[in-house]
């Protein structure tokens, strides 16, 4: 199963890497791309509008400041989209949080905490585990390990 992990710029890579590592630890393919809703809008639309046909199951989108990436992705696919507001800029991610969480009715974006790519990946795994008993078992084991037991 392939999950698109998109970020607005290469400088976001360190903040998104925990999510990539988590997806890969669960055996999911993380297709990591640097795509900006503002600098590469046509490329974003091209990727996501055919994503289901190309084997994607969800998208995780990390962006800072105006943070329109997750919303643009959600507007062009019916696959689950999880937005990761990224810190930086004058408001240290609060602007990105508000931008990501305030999607219009009918275009949902699940939103995690600022710089929360690990939780974004776990949320995607939880969604996929609904119909995948093996993945659900891995998720249970991971949860026990994180709890220290």
Instruction: Tell me the residue length of the chain.
Output: 149
**3-9: average pLDDT:** 97
User: What is residue 89's predicted lDDT score, i.e. its pLDDT?
Assistant: 84
**Tell me: the pLDDT tens digits for 71-116?**
999 999 999 999 999 999 889 999 999 999 999 999 999 999 999 9
Q: 32-64: b or e for each residue (b if 16 or more CB lie within 10 Å)? A: bebbbbeebeeebbebbeebeeeebbbbbbbbb
* Domains of the chain, earliest start first: 2-146 (3.40.50.1970)
pLDDT digits (tens, 9 = 90+) for 27-64: 999 999 999 999 999 999 999 999 999 999 999 999 99
Q: Residue 149's pLDDT band (boundaries 50, 70, 90)?
A: low
State the residue for tokens 């996501």: 48
Task: Report yes or no on whether pTM surpasses 0.85.
Answer: yes
């Amino acid at each position: 199963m392939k999950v698109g992990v998109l970020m607005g710029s290469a400088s976001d890579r360190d903040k998104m890497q925990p999510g990539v590592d988590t997806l890969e630890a669960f055996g999911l393919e993380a297709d990591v791309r640097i795509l900006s809703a503002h600098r590469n809008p046509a490329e974003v639309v091209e990727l996501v509008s055919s994503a289901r046909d190309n084997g994607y199951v969800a998208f995780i989108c990390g962006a800072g400041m105006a943070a329109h990436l997750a919303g643009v992705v959600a507007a062009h696919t019916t696959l689950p989209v999880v937005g990761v507001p990224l810190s930086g800029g004058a408001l240290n991610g609060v602007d990105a949080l508000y931008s990501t969480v305030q999607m219009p009715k009918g275009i949902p974006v699940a939103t995690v905490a600022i710089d929360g790519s690990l939780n974004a990946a776990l949320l995607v795994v939880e969604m996929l585990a609904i119909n995948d008993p093996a993945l659900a078992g891995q998720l249970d084991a991971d949860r026990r390990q994180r709890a220290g037991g």
